[in-house]
Amino acid sequence: MVLSETQLRLLQEFEHNLDPRRPEQGKIPALVLGYGEISTVLAIQATELNGLAFKRLALFYDLREVEAYRAAYEQYNRLLQEEIGLRLPQYGYAFFPNPAGRPIFYIAQQRLSSASIGNQALHLLSRQAVLILVMRALQELRRVWDFNRRQEHLQVAIDGQLSNWSIGDFDPQHPYVDPATSLTYLDTSTPLFRVEGIEQLDAEIFLRSAPSFLVWILRLLFLKDVVNRYYDFRRVAMDLVANFYKEQRPDLVPDVLDVTNGFFTDEAADLGIQPITEKEVRSYYREDALIWTLYLSMRRLDRTIHTRLLRREYPYVLPGKIKR
């Protein structure tokens, strides 16, 4: 997907007038579709941009960094789609400086029905359909580890939680999933893959959005571990299960865990992955929720320091209170 000159002009106009605290109130308003820990997904309210979802990345200091990210992003999408065989939405990108001269990178994707996104759909689906959805996600994720096992010099990582999958032909009035249902993978904005053991994306850029007084401890205690988890199928699956707590469906955790362990015991027995216990999932989720809750609180404090005390630009769009 290549953005037209008109679409690019509107995107630049949106960025030029954006107040990151109130993206819905700009000259060109935006609807927030979702928040990641690092970036925000927006639907920009201009006719020419209808049907697109934009992920805004304000992590870069110069065009050299932007170019390195662009190359990794394109390669990651190619690997997932052409080499591994995942279904991806149509996508494109654009980058340009904001009024302060900071390079901003926008990823554009075909906008899919919000009800079709896994973490939304699970509130509409029957219990049995949710379990089929989990199995379908695990089957798609297995493609990544099958690919990795065939490689000598290349390894690909992925974040498999349900919020990163869209259900094909999903009708919220008649919610349904079966073993043949197609899934589309959405979260390609963190292009993690290694060549000869070397990360092709500089993971340090993800610390840019952290308060300066936290960067050293995040680098020391968490950065390597957070990146490594996405190369480990067991930990990716544990994250998928644990997110049912975040989605306020703890009642589903035992059954989802049974499906996950059954998948590793039967369909993916050749991978030799040990069963996951409910105790591990609870512990993982408590630790993860505590880390991200504190992190977001510190980012809000950092925004206040920048905007009210130092009178400086704060380029990141932060979420409101997140239920965990």
Domains by residue range for the chain, with CATH: 5-110 (3.30.200), 115-309 (no CATH)
Between 38 and 129, residue with greater pLDDT: 129
Question: Which range (108-117, 184-193, 263-272, 287-296) has the least confidence?
Answer: 287-296
Alpha helices in 5-62 (DSSP H): 5-16
How confident is the model over 285-297, as a mean pLDDT? Answer: 75
**Which is nearest to 256 in space by CA: 267, 243, 241?**
241
Q: What is the pLDDT of residues 227-256, one digit of tens each?
A: 899 999 999 999 999 999 989 999 999 999
In this predicted structure, the answer to whether residue 102 has a pLDDT above a threshold of 70 is: yes
pLDDT band per the 50, 70, 90 thresholds, residue 183: very high
pLDDT band per the 50, 70, 90 thresholds, residue 38: low
Distance of alpha carbon 259 from alpha carbon 15, whole angstroms: 44
Task: Give, in order, the Cα–Cα distances in Å from 142 to each of 44, 233, 252.
Answer: 35, 8, 22
In this predicted structure, the answer to whether residue 180 has a pLDDT above a threshold of 90 is: yes
pLDDT at residue 321 in the model: 61
Distance of alpha carbon 230 from alpha carbon 1, whole angstroms: 27
pLDDT at residue 220 in the model: 66
How confident is the model over 18-47, as a mean pLDDT? Answer: 85
Distance of alpha carbon 315 from alpha carbon 6, whole angstroms: 24
pLDDT at residue 137 in the model: 98
Query: Given phi > 0 = left and psi -120 to 50 = alpha, else beta, which region is 244?
Result: alpha
pTM of the entire structure? 0.90
